[in-house]
């Protein structure tokens, strides 16, 4: 897989037993359903896992996944900067699920968290609506709606999302079942 930068869901499914799958979504998203055998290393913790991921890549091919493919592409680029070869899952877990492939959830699962994109849409829409409604009485409140709209445009242009970073820190996106040290130990062994 040295030159492969992405795999379709069908290609990944056919090779799943030979791949080390790294899910870079938030712990809450991971808990809502992930590829069988996937290890959760959230994107913001990737640097702490570089040496272990290098070891895992030396043993076999890495597949980096997220919800849509955007975060996993950033993770793949970051890994490449450190000489670690990995592929991404085209369309992410969304494409995987749409094709009817199996997803795993932690045992004794808690209620599934919404996908980060859905959380961002709810938060952004609520803030815009609140700004517009409050703006009927206090015109300056419309600046809230304008600020969120500007943030969404910036997010689209830069393929980053500050609101997602903030939402990822909320308790429902941080289930206690996710243990980065245990994940790194499992990958390193």
* Per-residue pLDDT tens digits of the chain, which is 189 residues long: 545 689 999 999 999 999 999 999 988 788 888 999 999 999 988 999 999 999 999 999 999 999 988 899 999 999 999 999 999 999 999 999 999 898 888 765 555 567 778 888 999 999 999 999 999 999 999 999 999 999 999 988 887 888 888 888 887 776 554 567 777 777 776
Q: Which of 45, 51, 58, 40 is nearest to 82 (CA)?
A: 51
**Phi/psi of residue 170, nearest 5 degrees:** -70, 150
What pLDDT, on a 0 to 100 scale, did the predictor assign at position 160? 81
157: left (phi over 0), alpha (psi -120 to 50) or beta: alpha
**Phi/psi of residue 19, nearest 5 degrees:** -105, 145
Which DSSP helix (H) or strand (E) runs through 153?
Answer: helix 142-158
In contact, 128 and 142? CB cutoff 8 Å: no
Q: What are the tokens at 176?
A: 């206690």
What global pTM score does this model have? 0.69
- Check residue 161 and report its DSSP letter: -
Residue 97, classed as helix, strand or coil, is helix
What pLDDT, on a 0 to 100 scale, did the predictor assign at position 86? 95
What pLDDT, on a 0 to 100 scale, did the predictor assign at position 158? 86
CA distance 40 to 154: 28
């Amino acid at each position: 897989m040295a030159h492969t930068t992405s795999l379709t869901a069908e290609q990944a499914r056919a090779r799943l037993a030979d791949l080390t799958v790294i899910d870079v979504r938030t712990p809450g998203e991971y808990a809502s359903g992930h590829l069988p055998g996937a290890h959760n290393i959230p994107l913001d913790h990737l640097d702490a896992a570089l040496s272990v991921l290098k070891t895992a890549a030396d043993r076999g091919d890495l597949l980096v996944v997220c919800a849509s493919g955007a975060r996993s592409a950033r993770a793949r680029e970051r890994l490449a900067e450190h000489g670690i070869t990995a592929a991404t899952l085209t369309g992410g877990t969304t494409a995987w699920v749409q094709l009817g492939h199996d997803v795993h959830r932690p045992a004794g699962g808690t209620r599934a968290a919404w996908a980060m994109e859905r959380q961002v849409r709810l938060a952004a829409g609520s803030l815009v609506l609140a700004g517009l409604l409050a703006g009927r009485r206090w015109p300056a409140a419309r600046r809230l709606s304008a600020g969120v709209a500007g943030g969404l445009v910036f997010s689209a242009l830069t393929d980053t999302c500050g609101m997602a970073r903030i939402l990822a820190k909320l308790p429902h996106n941080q289930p206690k079942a996710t243990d980065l040290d245990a994940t790194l130990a499992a990958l390193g062994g």
